[in-house]
Amino acid sequence: MNSGYPAHREADVVLRDGSTVRLRPVRPEDEEALAAFFGGLSLQSLAFRFFSGAADLEKAARMMAEVDYADRYGILATRGDDDHPVGHGVYLEMGGGQAEVAFAVSEDMQKMGLGTILLAHLAQTADENDIPTFVAEVLPQNHKMIEMFRESGFPVESKSIAGAIRIAFPTSLSSGALERFEDRDRLAAKAAVRHFLEPRSVAIVGASRRRGTVGGEVLHNMVESGYPGGLYPVNPAAETVQGVPAFPSIAAVPADVDLAVIAVPAEDVVDVARECAEKGVRGVLVLSAGFAETGKKGARLERELLGVCRDAGMRLVGPNCLGVLDTAPESGLNASFAPSAPPAGHVGFVTQSGALGLALIEFAEERGIGVSSFASVGNRADITANDLLEYWEDDNATRVALLYIESFSDPRRFSRVSRRLGPKMPIVVVKSGRSAAGARATSSHTGALLAASDQATDAIFEQSGVIRTDTLSELLDVASLLSSQPLPEGPRVGILTNAGGPGIMCADACEASGLELPELPRSVRARLRRFLPPEASLANPVDMIATASPEHYRRAIEVMAEWDGIDALIVIFIRPLLTEARDVAAAIGDAAAKLERRIPMQAVFMTAGERETLVAAAGVPAHTQPEDAVRALREAVGHARWRQRPAGETREFADVRPDEAAATISEALATGREWLDLDECQRLLDCYGVRLPRSRLATGPEAAGAAAVEIGGRVALKAHGPTILHKSELGAVRIGLEGGEEVTRAAEEMDASLAGLGIERDSFLVQEMVSGGVELLVGVAADPVFGPVLACGAGGTTAELLHDVAVRICPLTSADSAEMLRALAIFPLLTGFRGAAPADLGAVDELLLRVSAMADAHREIVELDLNPVLAGPSGAVAADARIRVASSTPPRPWPRTWA
């Protein structure tokens, strides 16, 4: 896109020293002046600007002068009558609403605010040209540029990669723009999913006249669902398909197409996708199998398909999926080949497995669970469960989200979305992979603790308010309760039954699940006694005995629900004599519909084939076993407690130095090492205010003795090396040493012992002794599902033996840190056990929050151990630290197209 020279962007601006410079857009004829400007920069400035002091400046100048004033835009700051440049800024549009931005300022003009002025000018221009986001890569040593971005007023996000720091920020500071920048994932996801669940027109490529084929069933379902939009079967061999006019190709469709459903052999899918791209289709739903699930060849085909979609800005559901459906009356969409459709309702389903998707739809229909929308994402090459969750957040028809997932494509986003969505919409998950067999090998205490069991995953779900179930049956039990009943206000349960045995089973299950069965007060017993037979037991459970009639059920439900001593009611029926289950179901439904005080109610029909009789009974969930009802209620109570807990705040620390920390990580990554050395660990932790004892590095025994004298007092001696992971087990730590001679002798003995084991050390660490305190472990492990997980537990040499650990995802809130400590079995030791001085819990809380802030800001930290952390009356001190980093993004030269 070429535009005329924007003369209106020329301006004189005042710098910090009161002087002025002239700003004007770059012209093509500025090539020579740009080359001269770049040639006048110092080697350091050239390296900072081009990532090399030996860049081809003439080529760079030629590229900088190629501007179109929209997608490629440059700005010059000039001075003097000869209009010589003293500063230059440029952005290059790179697709996806982003542009790369870069600057250079002559040495004599630095620290005068010129870089910030150039940035503001570029950002305004980019915003007016509908480019919402700037990205940049900066060398870790370029502190001035990083500081300029930080102080610009834009909300900057940064990430360390090997040899650089990647920065992103919005081009507008308006409140709306800032909200869009911070919320861009949600807005993009909603817009994308809308193409699939709210399309104005649908083309079915591969539509067939034969029922029983994928293309035939999808078209049949679309017709049967009463889809009100444009429906275009694509079949080159037919003029009509199932009574609907057909077209030979997607290009021949005489209207715009929002959604294309593709049901052709895998080898033809990419060509069809290209035709869709040329047609301007917004979303493609690929039902075809034969992609990454089949092996390397299929994976290559899937990457090619995704590349076609990305190049065209088309979104993709699938491949290898069942389809999507939406039950809203105005939508009437069933773009799936499922043999049946669930009733309309308030549950959103998303599944990775097409087969389980079929089962979910069938079971939901059988149990009367109403569905708002459904998506089978298959290989989730593009659209994932996260996108559906973002869409459902503002969907009034969806009250509960159900997920079957095998893994998360974007764990950080999932944790963020689930935390935000949980307080207003329960998320219920069946996630495979509870065993530790697939856990990765790890070298840290924290990694070993988290990989040893599924504790981390369960704790993470709990923190995010996500309900995890083990089976599809449990998933549907919980969904049935949450979608039709209010959340319980507490754990107190009332049980009504017509048989003692099932009532006792239900009571036992309640007690095992942490639910309470309060005794009935005299007033409630008196009301029940008026109509129940004398033989009825009026404890809790209330056993109305086998002669209980439907009217007894109706009246007893009314009495029990009006009693404010319970928060939920479970009603059990087992068929005796001639009482019909359907009559009892009608009575339960009638009573539930007329309750003035609504509490969650469930029914249990312990008679084969009778559960469905309650489907129409005012939406009361029904089960065949009491334990199923109790499990569902337990999850509802837990979720209600999660909503009621104090939200806490993610604390921001004014004294942290994230840019310096990012530079430390980037420099370490550039060396190819994963484990930081001692100096790097100390520098990184110091950036986040994590307190360490005074220490000195020493190359040998004599130097260690000298370091001990310098520190003074009692010290600890530790050997360090790449294979010295658990020091105590290798005899690589000695404590309570005093004086140079004792430390030197201990170091010599340690060297001899390690040599006998065939282990070489790099150095010794001599560290001041920290007196007293409870030994804790504070650590981070990069979980492959949820990103950084922070662990806190019993520390020292027994950390893995005791396995007393609490975990949370980062970032922690103040409520999270407090809960972690109080969840530990050793918590009483921190509060002054048996007369000991209590630890400073505030200091431990702060340490957890600081480590969380560091792990969340620097996702390159994949393992971190502070073990032990000594928590005492005077604070919390990390006596030892190990940190491993890894780059998640391969490095590339800067700038990509201009160097």
Residue 260 has pLDDT above 80, yes or no: yes
Summarize pLDDT for 598-642 with one digit per residue, the tens. 999 999 998 766 555 554 455 799 999 999 999 999 999 999 999
Contact indicator for 166, 889 with CB cutoff of 8 Å: yes
Residue scoring higher pLDDT (410 or 891): 410
Which residues have CB under 8 Å from 189's CB, separation 6+? Answer: 386, 387, 390, 391
The predicted pLDDT at position 891 comes to 33
- The model's pTM: 0.73
The predicted pLDDT at position 300 comes to 96
Residue scoring higher pLDDT (315 or 17): 315
The predicted pLDDT at position 176 comes to 55
Residue 55 has pLDDT above 70, yes or no: yes
Average pLDDT value for residue range 779-786:
79
**Beta-bridge partner residues of 365:** none
Average pLDDT value for residue range 557-583:
92
Average pLDDT across the chain, whole number: 87
Average pLDDT value for residue range 61-65:
92
Side-chain-side CA neighbours of residue 100 (13 Å): 14
Residue scoring higher pLDDT (804 or 564): 564
The predicted pLDDT at position 610 comes to 55
| Residue 48 structure tokens | 């900072």
Residue 866 has pLDDT above 90, yes or no: yes
The predicted pLDDT at position 161 comes to 79
The predicted pLDDT at position 614 comes to 52
Q: Which residue has the tokens 């995802």?
A: 809
Residue 458 has pLDDT above 90, yes or no: no
Average pLDDT value for residue range 368-379:
93
Could you tell me the maximum CA-CA distance found in the chain, to the nearest angstrom?
Answer: 109
Residue 26 has pLDDT above 50, yes or no: yes
Contact indicator for 247, 282 with CB cutoff of 8 Å: no
Residue 273 has pLDDT above 50, yes or no: yes
The predicted pLDDT at position 215 comes to 96
Give the burial string for 570-592 (b: 16+ CB within 10 Å, else e): bbbbbbeeebebebbbbbbbebb
Residue 14 has pLDDT above 60, yes or no: yes
The predicted pLDDT at position 436 comes to 46
Instruction: Give the burial class of 898: count Cβ atoms within 10 A of its Cβ; 0-12 exposed, 13-18 middle, 19 or more buried.
Output: buried
Residue 134 has pLDDT above 50, yes or no: yes
Residue 231 has pLDDT above 70, yes or no: yes
Supply the Cα-derived Rg of the chain in whole angstroms.
33
Q: Which of 347-356, 574-583, 628-637 has the lowest mean pLDDT?
A: 574-583
Residue 322 has pLDDT above 70, yes or no: yes
Average pLDDT value for residue range 266-276:
97
Average pLDDT value for residue range 341-353:
92
Summarize pLDDT for 33-45 with one digit per residue, the tens. 999 999 998 888 8
The predicted pLDDT at position 126 comes to 92
The predicted pLDDT at position 453 comes to 46
The strand pair at 542-543 and 537-538 is best described as antiparallel
Average pLDDT value for residue range 128-138:
90
Residue 454 has pLDDT above 80, yes or no: no
Q: Which of 382-396, 452-466, 630-644 has the lowest mean pLDDT?
A: 452-466
Tallying the residues shown for the chain, one arrives at: 899
Q: Distances in Å between the alpha carbon of 768 and those of 433, 457, 778, 877?
A: 44, 38, 20, 11
Residue scoring higher pLDDT (648 or 427): 427
Residue 8 has pLDDT above 90, yes or no: no
Q: Which residue has the tokens 């009935």?
A: 520
Summarize pLDDT for 678-723 with one digit per residue, the tens. 889 999 999 999 988 888 889 999 999 999 999 999 999 989 887 7
Residue 63 has pLDDT above 50, yes or no: yes
The predicted pLDDT at position 173 comes to 64
Q: Which residue has the tokens 């650089």?
A: 164
The predicted pLDDT at position 888 comes to 55
Which residues have CB under 8 Å from 312's CB, separation 6+? Answer: 276, 277
Give the burial string for 766-786 (b: 16+ CB within 10 Å, else e): bbbbbeebbbbbbbbbbbebb
| % of the chain at pLDDT higher than 70 | 90
Residue 326 has pLDDT above 70, yes or no: yes
Residue 899 has pLDDT above 50, yes or no: no
Residue 252 has pLDDT above 50, yes or no: yes
